[in-house]
Amino acid sequence: MSKVMRLIGSASIGRHRPRLLRLSGFTLIEIIIVIVILSVLSIGSVQFISFSAQGYVDTARRSVLASTATIVNEKISRLIRESLPGSIRVNSTQSCIEFIPVLGATSYIDAPFDTTSTNVTAVNVNTLLRSNGRLAIYPVVSDVNQLYSLSGIQGYISTETVSSVVTGNEVTFTFNGGASFRFERRSPQKRLYIVDEPNAFCQVGTQLFYYQNYGFVGDISNLPTRLPSSINERLLVADQLSPGSLRFQYLPSSLRRNAIVSYELELQGASNQTEIFAINQEVQVRNVP
């Protein structure tokens, strides 16, 4: 009996013994540490993305400036390099350069020097020899303005344009309108140039323009007032120049070297004007009189 009671009592006591529950989780300090770490990682990620995007924008902006510089150099160099020797002139502020483009060249056989004539005979070097310009022989002058002062029946560049007739290996140029003309000096190598109307490059404000089809201006000091403003005669080359940064210089040719044109200018970013792209270039004028 007592043994049975002891068993019942033991069972009763086992049923009413309280159970201990073990709970697990993060402390406040751990949560704060996690938040701080995530914040640092977020800030670093945002800055990395921001710097990468800004680097791309800066690279694109500099690429635009570099492309503009390439266009400017190519345009100026290509045209000046093929200009008539002795025809390059720069204005007093060095912001404009003017030159006479060469359309074609050959050697003359017979040309008027002592008396006037309506014709010039030359070697027909190829079928592409242009004949819709003016003729020029030995344009070597002490004052370049003489080449641009077309008047009378005597000079270095004919006052009238010409037309041509080819006969075998010879070409005969005839001054239009039945005009007569004679040239100032003979060329030692009998060089004959067919030339076009003068062209010019000028900086106006922050823009660089290429001018053409405005005629001959005797004095370069009068050039700015004679330059055209219409689209056909004035072409925009670049529009991001620093004000007053363009400077042209001209070194005439000698017996030992060709003529040299040097220029410098600065291009500035449209959104970041403190960023400057400087250009320094030299161009050799290969033609000789």
For 5-45, write each residue's pLDDT tens digit: 454 455 455 555 555 556 566 677 877 887 888 777 777 77
3-state secondary structure of 255: coil
Give the per-residue pLDDT at 7.
Answer: 45
Mean pLDDT across the stretch 46-75? 73
Q: Residue 98's closest CA among 72, 125, 79?
A: 79
| Residues 81 and 108 grouped into a single domain | no
| Residues 222 and 185 grouped into a single domain | no
| Residues 106 and 236 grouped into a single domain | no
| Residues 106 and 166 grouped into a single domain | yes
| Residues 131 and 87 grouped into a single domain | no
90 has a pLDDT exceeding 60 = yes
Q: Residue 128's closest CA among 194, 68, 220?
A: 194
Rounded-to-integer distance, Cα 89 and Cα 104, Å: 21
- Tell me, what amino acid is at 105? A
Rounded-to-integer distance, Cα 99 and Cα 111, Å: 24
Mean pLDDT across the stretch 63-77? 85
Q: For residue range 140-191, what is the model confidence (pLDDT) as tens digits?
A: 888 899 999 888 899 999 999 999 888 888 899 999 988 999 999 999 989 9
Residue matched to tokens 């030995």:
138
H/E element, 37: helix 28-81
Q: Could you tell me the two tokens for 38?
A: 């995530």
- Tell me, what amino acid is at 22? R
Q: H helices of 127-201, where?
A: 145-148
Cα 188 from chain centre: 36
Establish how many alpha carbons lie within 13 A of residue 106's alpha carbon, considering only the half-sphere containing its beta carbon: 24
Whether residue 182 is contained in a domain is answered as yes
What is the secondary structure of 176-244 as a DSSP string?
GGG--BEESS--TT-EEEEE---EEEEEETTEEEEE-S----SSGGGHHHHS--STTTEEEEES-BPTT
| Residues 147 and 225 grouped into a single domain | no
Mean pLDDT across the stretch 280-288? 85
Counted domains in the chain = 2
100 neighbors 195 (Cβ within 8 angstroms):
yes
| Residues 214 and 79 grouped into a single domain | yes
Q: How far is CA 43 from CA 16, 54, 283, in A?
A: 56, 16, 52
| Residues 212 and 276 grouped into a single domain | yes
Query: Cα-atom radius of gyration of the chain, to the nearest Å?
Result: 40
Q: Residue 85's closest CA among 261, 281, 211, 262?
A: 261
Q: Which domain holds residue 108?
A: 102-195
64 has a pLDDT exceeding 70 = yes
Rounded-to-integer distance, Cα 253 and Cα 284, Å: 10
Q: For residue range 203-227, what is the model confidence (pLDDT) as tens digits?
A: 999 999 999 999 999 999 999 889 9
Q: Is pLDDT larger for residue 69 or for residue 49?
A: 69
Length of the chain: 289
Contacts of 275 (CB under 8 A, 6+ apart): 61, 62, 65, 268, 269
Give the per-residue pLDDT at 31.
Answer: 79
